[in-house]
Amino acid sequence: MTIPIQKIEQSKIQWTGPTWNPWHGCQKVSAGCKFCYMFRDKERYGKKPTLVMRSKTKFNDPLKWKEPQLIFTCSWSDWFIEDADAWRPEAWEVIKNTPQHTYQILTKRPERIKDCLPPDWGDGYSNVWLGVSVESNDEKQRLEILADVPARIRFISAEPLIGELDLEDIVDVISTKYHWLIIGGESGNNTGKYRFRSCELSWIEKLIEQGESMGLDVFVKQLGTHLGQTMMMKDRHAGNINEWPFELRVRQFPEDVSRYSLTEDNTLENQKNEGERIA
């Protein structure tokens, strides 16, 4: 059977290209989930966000994408959620059969990873990055769990950063097991059900300093709605890098990603991994 080539819709997430959701729906597991965009959007369309369902039309999308893509996997769920156990082996096969793509798998359930890996995982698939969400010091134990999982690239997503995150006491784990650190403040509304929490500049500055000192590549995605308002930025979620203080303008990747099509504000110059701030 010939699979038709499909036009690829790029996401608006600055550190990736398209998203791929072989299933959607999730359950909240920690404080960072409180104002989850997936819950907001599902409820907006009258759907139940906690119902995990296999996608009827998107499951095989990466097989249709012939050009290399940097893919954020399960942006509307969690790759390792228990409800998807029956479908995950087939999804691993999609990843195996598309070696031209790189898959960024981010989870809040690192304790389930080892039991959900394919039999031939070995030291990790060459086209898979494994990441864990750590919103504050309260979730820091996730870092040690993921550190024990074989992977070519491991990364930290400190987004939404809703409290201080101090990596200094696990410097040996971070500096030897991790490669990439994403930082972002929470976006949301002033009224209604889906709001936002504060993210302080000092938290971001400290994480950048610690990440760079531990040898990580650092990517600041956005400062969040709180800082966007307090600093009177035009971008309400403080995602426009040109409005930031110079010392925060860092967008590095753990490898050369120039072969991928990313968002418009990730120009080739921004993608260079030279440790320099973006002018």
Instruction: Indicate the range of 23-32, 86-95, 255-264 predicted with least confidence.
Output: 255-264
Tell the residue number behind the tokens 């389930």, with chain if given: 112
Q: What confidence score (pLDDT) does residue 19 get?
A: 97
Distance CA 146, CA 132 (A): 7
Quick one: average pLDDT of 139-157?
A: 98
Range 165-171 average pLDDT = 98
Per-residue pLDDT tens over the stretch 62-96: 999 999 999 999 999 999 999 999 999 999 999 99
Q: Is the pLDDT of residue 269 over 60?
A: no
Bridge partner residues of 73 (DSSP): 20, 105
95 token code pair: 């990843």
Per the listing, tokens 């531990």 go with 214
- Count the neighbouring beta carbons within 10 Å of the beta carbon of residue 68: 17
Q: List pLDDT tens digits, range 190-207.
A: 999 999 999 999 999 999
* Token pair in block for residue 93: 């096969």
Q: Is it the case that residue 241 has pLDDT exceeding 80?
A: yes
Dist CA 204 CA 136 (whole Å): 11
Contact present, 152 and 128 (Cβ < 8 Å):
yes
* pLDDT for 267 beyond 80: no
Model confidence over 210-223: pLDDT tens digits?
999 999 999 999 99
- Quote the tokens at residue 176: 């030897």
Average pLDDT value for the chain: 93
Answer with the residue of higher pLDDT: 107 or 278. 107
